[in-house]
A and B are shown apart, each in its own frame.
Chain A
Amino acid sequence: MNTSDSDEDAYNERTALVQSESPVVPSYRPDPGPGPAEESKGAGISRRSRPGVDGGESDQEVDAEEEELPLKYGAKHVIMLFIPVTLCMVVVVATIKSVSFYSEKTNQQLIYTPFTEDTQNVGRRLLNSVLNTIIMISVIVVMTILLVVLYKYRCYRFIHGWLILSSLMLLFWFSFMYLGEVFKTYNVAVDYPTVAMIIWNFGAVGMICIHWKGPLQLQQAYLILISALMALVFIKYLPEWSAWVILGAISIYDLVAVLSPKGPLRMLVETAQERNEPIFPALIYSSAMMWTVGMASSTDAQRSETDEEAEQNDRRAEPRSQQPRAVSEDELEEERGVKLGLGDFIFYSVLVGKAAATGGDWNTTIACFVAILIGLCLTLLLLAIFKKALPALPISITFGLIFYFSTDFLVQPFMDNLANHQFYI
């Protein structure tokens, strides 16, 4: 299995008590495919490291003095996640606002959303979007279950191949399309050799960084970029109303899949925990490196499903921490990090991007952005309280949807009217 150092977690009872905000947010992976190909979505669950069995001593005496720590770590963790999520959304919104390709209406639709929204009747349109959503969610459920089955029967090579194929497509094909559109927007002439060099370098270094070894910041940057690319594909190829219904439905699915005892994501997480295996690095965004000397680490396994042709993203947030062994005499360093699945990035960006593309003006976009960040904060807070894998989508998406619709339909006309009458409040 491909493991990167960042996935090692050392977790033992001491850590469990010390870090009260180490619950893991399950990640959710959608796998959208490009226009010609189908898209698939996978949901991944993120797990957090299970408490280690090292040292059975209780930490009551540590508890009191370390009660201050969780808060401090909590704020830092939140900021560590805010930055990448914000960056991803900024990239998506900047692209939507400048490159018209991604907000143009297109008749081409993904095969996951076969029902058209071109009808006159409002009821018919609503029905079509609901049907599209049902199809999309069933594809995701099937993919998730397939992934769980593959993982249970240890078909690691198949999963690896799938992951590599999907990130290949994302890094080469989507970025090629993206680059072409950017050049067309700015009306510059570019020749094939230069484009070939750019795409080849971008893609090859991306594959190396994500799937093998590379500098952490570069890996994070690549993960943010591919999430943004995927979100842009979603924004372009999902029909209007279907996109909103799908966002809502996926949050509910995430909730169910992660929290219910028979949920596929939960089963994935538990299986991975039993086997004490790390999660595939290509599916999770990790915000910090952990290092320790002579420490056994239990890693969280995270699974996300992927479509045969599409890439998979994981969403989950997970604080990682390391705990020095009680017997070690070396100086051990601890650094905590948070992990969030890539699917979370994608869907947050889809929401904000759609708000930027179809909403009124910047009011709506910024309102959605703030809503998502608030949701992320709350999710991390819940993570700290419950200390187990949690879905990262529901709260943020709910807030985002509420803010979008209320801003678009209530606040926007209100502000416009005020401006029209030059009435300042």
Chain B
Amino acid sequence: MNLERLPNEEKLTLCRKYYLGGFACLPFLWLVNVVWFFKEAFVKPTYTEQTQIKTYVKRSALGLLLWVTVLTTWITIYQHFRAQWGEVGDYLSFTIPLGTP
């Protein structure tokens, strides 16, 4: 799908759909939104829908940042304290490494 040949309204709807979709715990979708529409929002010469696309891209970037922080924090906590948590740690684990930590 090439953004070049889409009319501006369709670009806006696509950007909005990607933005709304990211709320379903999909930071990856927000990342795709940011990367894909970055040129459209910030590099291209102005057109009517561009301001709205800009807001969507900015908000997607914000949401993405938030999710990245949350996930990094959780992963750090988990990796650090997993052995100490005992049974709860095992219950949470998908894979448990072999050998002594």
Contact = CB atoms under 8 A, between A and B. Distances in A.
A215 B95 contact: no
Interface string A171-205: 00000000010011001111111110100111011
Contacts of A201: 25-29
Given A4-B1, A183-B95, 13 more contacts: A5-B1, A180-B94, A190-B94, A191-B92, A192-B93, A193-B74, A197-B25, A200-B25, A201-B27, A205-B29, A208-B29, A215-B32, A289-B2
Contacts of B5: 5, 291, 293
B97 interface: yes
B36 interface: yes
A216 B2 contact: yes
A82 to B, nearest CB: 22
B27 A219 contact: no
Interface in B76-91: 78-79, 82
Nearest to B92: A191
A311 B69 CA distance: 36
Contacts of A200: 25-26
Nearest to B3: A215
Contact of B74 (A6, A194, A216, A293): A194
A193 B32 contact: no
Contacts of A213: 1, 14
A189 B97 contact: yes
A218 interface: yes
8 contacts: A4-B1, A187-B99, A190-B95, A191-B78, A201-B25, A215-B1, A215-B35, A291-B2
Interface in B1-49: 1-2, 4-5, 14, 21, 24-29, 32, 35-36
A207 B1 CA distance: 15
A76 to B, nearest CB: 18
Per DSSP, chain B at the interface is helix
Nearest to A206: B28
A291 B4 contact: yes
Given A189-B82, A193-B74, A205-B26, A214 B1 contact: yes
Interface in A273-295: 289, 291, 293
Nearest to B98: A187
A257 B71 CA distance: 50
Nearest to A213: B1
Contacts of B32: 205, 214-215, 218
Nearest 8 CB-CB pairings of A with B: A201-B28, A289-B2, A291-B5, A183-B95, A187-B97, A191-B92, A195-B94, A190-B94
Contacts of A6: 1-2
Interface residues of B, number: 29
Contacts of B94: 180, 183, 190-192, 194-195
A197 to B, nearest CB: 7
Nearest to B18: A208
B95 to A, nearest CB: 4
A282 B30 CA distance: 22
Contact of B92 (A188, A192, A214, A216): A192
A319 B84 CA distance: 59
Nearest to B91: A192
Contacts of A195: 94
Contacts of A215: 1, 32, 35-36
Contacts of B26: 200-201, 204-205
Contacts of B25: 197, 200-201
Interface in A399-420: none
B75 interface: yes
Contacts of A202: 28
A291 B6 CA distance: 10
B63 to A, nearest CB: 13
Contacts of A219: 1
Contacts of B29: 201, 204-205, 208
A183 B14 CA distance: 35
A190 B93 contact: yes
Contacts of B21: 208
A188 B78 CA distance: 12
A423 B58 CA distance: 65
A187 B101 CA distance: 11
A213 B29 CA distance: 12
Nearest to A215: B36
Contacts of B82: 189, 191
B92 A5 contact: no
Contact of A204 (B24, B36, B97): B24
A158 B79 CA distance: 45
A180 B95 CA distance: 7
Nearest to A195: B94
A190 B82 CA distance: 10
